[in-house]
Chains A and B, each alone.
Chain A
Amino acid sequence: MDLPLPDPEAEPLAPFWLAAQERRLCLPQCRACGRVDWYPKGTCRGCGSQDIAWTRFSGAATLFSWAEVRRALDPRLAPLVPYISAIVTLAEDGHSRIVTRLVDVDPMSLTAGLPLAVRFLDLGYPLRDTALLAPLFTCPDP
């Protein structure tokens, strides 16, 4: 069964996936207060401004929550098992929550607030090749 692939050209998330193919983490951000508009609403959750633009982020993040998936209930995800599903908070916006996967980390070492860094790897890393780059996260290089 194939992994559930995104449609990199489907709005409103196309810029996210197209930037990822160029190894850039891009998200819509409020130009008035800096809050990330994720998932895109077009109206800032922080200040109500509609002045929102796709912006490049550093990829520095901290761990908000995670789950270690040892059995996939969706058969399309079975090729990834076991994997660590995660929600991370970007350094630029303490309210932000980005759904991702942690790679090359020891599940026993995970703690709330753990510093993380983005890595642009194949969406199916390390087990499947999908020919699509995705922003996955791991511990930053020392």
Chain B
Amino acid sequence: MRRGQNNFINRSMSAPRIITPGPAELADISGQVAIVGVGESVMSGPSGRDPKKMAFLAINNALADAGFSSADVDGIMVADGLPEQITPDDFRDRYGLEQALWFSGEGGGLARIATAPLAAWQAMRSGEASVVVSVLGIDWASQSRAGTGGPAEYHREHAIKANAEAPFGFLPQPVYFAHIARRHMLDFGTTGAQLGALAVACRRHATGHPGAVLRDKPLSLDKYLAREPFIDPLRTDDCCLISDGAAALVMVSADRARDFPKRAAIVEGVGYGGAEEGTMFAQEPAFTSTPMRFAAPGAFAMAGIAPGEVDVLSLYDPFTVTALMMIEDMGFCAKGEGGPFVEGDRLHFDGGGIPLNTHGGMLSHAYTLGASHIVELVRQLRGEAANQVEGAGIAIHGGYSGSDAACLVLRRGD
């Protein structure tokens, strides 16, 4: 295999991702893929660290966790479209290796981390890869401080947004989601205190997690409410962190799941769905819903489970209201009943309800676009999480990007 040449390049690496509104038909991969290693870099605010170096730290930790060496890896997944993600050449250069590497942009983070096992399974089935690493490294905290890049870049540079939204002040994402939260409040009576319950639950989990960026910043509901909204009705505590960090996971065929030092997490279901209006939130007909309403039913059906059987939940949480909508869209409660559903300590790891983002989520752990959420779920299923949910056997992740959403069901391996 010559340097600079990859065995297989997933088509998504060269063509723009096409999102079809509504649910996607996905192959049944129940019980076929196992996650056998997870790892992260240190998470932080602006640090000047290189995203690829952080990504390789996370990969090193994930490979060590699985008992693999870099030479065992034959597949790499990143999030297509995100800048500064690693390439197969980066991987070979980093480890001084020459091996062929299957490469796909259908992993990393955002919505697609939840369906990454499907793409990995397709590569395993066709013999293109057997040990697949998905990784996401990001330095948006450093970039935002420098006034470049960051999460708002896409929205700033979008031609329609630049001409129909930004001139009126409808930018960036916290402004969109303040409108969505407002409408959820108008339609369903949702309150600021109910959004606060989500922020408080995630912060409580962060204060119990040694790797969380906000581990030393406890947040009570009173303290949350005492801070005036800055984009009313959103408070800063309703908005996720912007972070530097990386997270990685290792996938293999589930028939090898027992061959690893730690208990595997078995993929039981995946689901995917697209929004009607892409990232044009103002135009979305289902204004107070997410495409999770299309993604979750397929994942639950593939896994043969109901929401009531879920032990641990993780959700892509750029804003409290986003997580609230996805709780409804997944069917944990009816549309509009999310507010009362999340009150009190029902989302806490020891609250007796449905534990949410037990590492702190993007709201309080780090903004690794959902990659750390999967790391946390695997640790929960192994029984080694910092905020361990007793007897965790079924874990669900909801990935999201605005224009699409995906759902992943994991089961504790034997």
Please indicate the chain B residues that have their CB under 8 angstroms from the CB of A38 in the complex: 283
Tell whether B230 is near chain A: CB-to-CB under 8 Å.
Answer: yes
Q: How far is the CB of A6 from chain B (nearest CB, A)?
A: 4
Complex Cα spacing A132 to B156, Å: 20
Contact of A74 with B163 in the complex, beta carbons under 8 Å: no
Number of A-B pairs whose CB atoms are under 8 Å? 103
A-contacting 9-mer, from B28-36, B65-73, B177-185, B209-217:
B177-185
On chain A, the residues within 8 Å of B156 by CB distance are 4, 74
Per the bound structure, the CA–CA distance linking A83 and B283 in Å amounts to: 21
In the complex, chain B residues whose CB is within 8 Å of the CB of A19: none
Question: In the assembled complex, which residues on chain A have CB atoms less than 8 Å from the CB atom of B170?
Answer: 85, 99
Asked if B231 and A71 make an inter-chain contact with CB atoms under 8 angstroms apart, the answer reads yes
Rounded to whole angstroms, the CA-CA distance of A101 and B186 in the bound complex is 19
When the two chains form the complex, which single residue of B169, B180, B287 contacts A101, counting CB atoms closer than 8 Å? B169
Q: Is the CB of B152 within 8 A of A13?
A: no
> Closest Cβ of chain A: how far from B169's Cβ, in Å?
5
A131 close to chain B: CB less than 8 A? no
Contacts of B169 in A (CB 8 A): 69, 72, 77, 80, 83, 85, 101
A50 within 8 A of B: no
Which of B162, B180, B186 is A4 in contact with, Cβ under 8 Å? B162
**A8 shortest CB reach to chain B, Å:** 8
From the candidates A7, A17, A65, A73, name the one contacting B183 in the complex (CB within 8 A): A65
User: What 1/0 mask marks residues of chain A from 48 to 78 whose CB sits below 8 Å from any chain B CB?
Assistant: 0000000000000000111111111111110
Query: How far does the alpha carbon of A95 sit from the alpha carbon of B159 in the complex, in Å?
Result: 23
How far does the Cβ of B223 sit from chain A's closest Cβ, in whole Å?
A: 19
User: B179 contacts which of A39, A65, A75, A76 (Cβ < 8 Å)?
Assistant: A65
Structural contact, B168 and A39, CB atoms closer than 8 A:
no
Cα distance, A99 to B162, chains bound together (Å) = 12
Most A Cβ at <10 Å: residue of B159, B167, B174, B287:
B167
A24 at the A/B interface (Cβ < 8 Å)? no
Bound Cα distance from A7 to B166, whole angstroms: 11
Nearest CB in chain A to that of B280: its residue: A39
Q: Does B340 interact with chain A (Cβ within 8 Å)?
A: no
Task: Report the minimal beta-carbon distance from A112 to chain B, rounded to whole angstroms.
Answer: 4
B175 close to A65 (CB less than 8 A): no
Determine the chain B residues whose CB is within 8 A of the CB of A6 once the complex forms. Answer: 162-164, 166-167
Q: B156 CB to closest chain A CB, in angstroms? A: 7
Query: Are the CB atoms of B186 and A7 closer together than 8 Å?
Result: no
Main secondary structure, interface of A, reads mixed
Return the contact of B282 from the options A17, A80, A97 (Cβ within 8 A): A97
B172 A66 Cβ-Cβ under 8 A? no
Q: Residue B229 at the A interface, CB < 8 A? A: yes
- Contact residues in A for B152 (Cβ distance below 8 Å): 73-74
Chain B residues 180-200 with CB under 8 Å of chain A are: 180, 182-183, 186
How far apart sit A108 and B180, CA to CA, in the bound complex (Å)?
A: 18
Q: Shortest CB–CB separation between residue B227 and chain A, in angstroms?
A: 12
CB neighbors of A among B127-186 (8 A) = 147, 152, 156, 159-160, 162-172, 174-175, 178-180, 182-183, 186
Partner of A64, one of B183, B229, B285: B183
Nearest A residue to B166 via CB reads A4
B390 contacts A by Cβ under 8 Å: no
Among candidates A64, A68, A99, A136, residue contacting B231 with C-beta atoms closer than 8 Å:
A68
Given A64-B183, A87-B282, A70–B167 Cβ distance below 8 Å?
A: no
List residues of chain A with CB under 8 Å of any chain B CB.
Answer: 3-7, 10, 13, 16-17, 38-39, 64-77, 80, 83, 85-87, 95, 97, 99-101, 107, 112, 123, 134, 136
Query: What are 8 A-B contacts with C-beta separation under 8 Å?
Result: A4-B166, A69-B178, A71-B230, A72-B169, A73-B174, A73-B231, A77-B169, A85-B170
Instruction: With A65-B186, A66-B182 given, name 8 new contacts (CB 8 A).
Output: A5-B167, A39-B164, A64-B183, A65-B182, A68-B231, A74-B156, A99-B164, A136-B168
The 6 A-B residue pairs with the shortest CB-CB distance in the complex, in nearest-first order: A67-B178, A68-B232, A4-B166, A6-B163, A65-B179, A65-B183
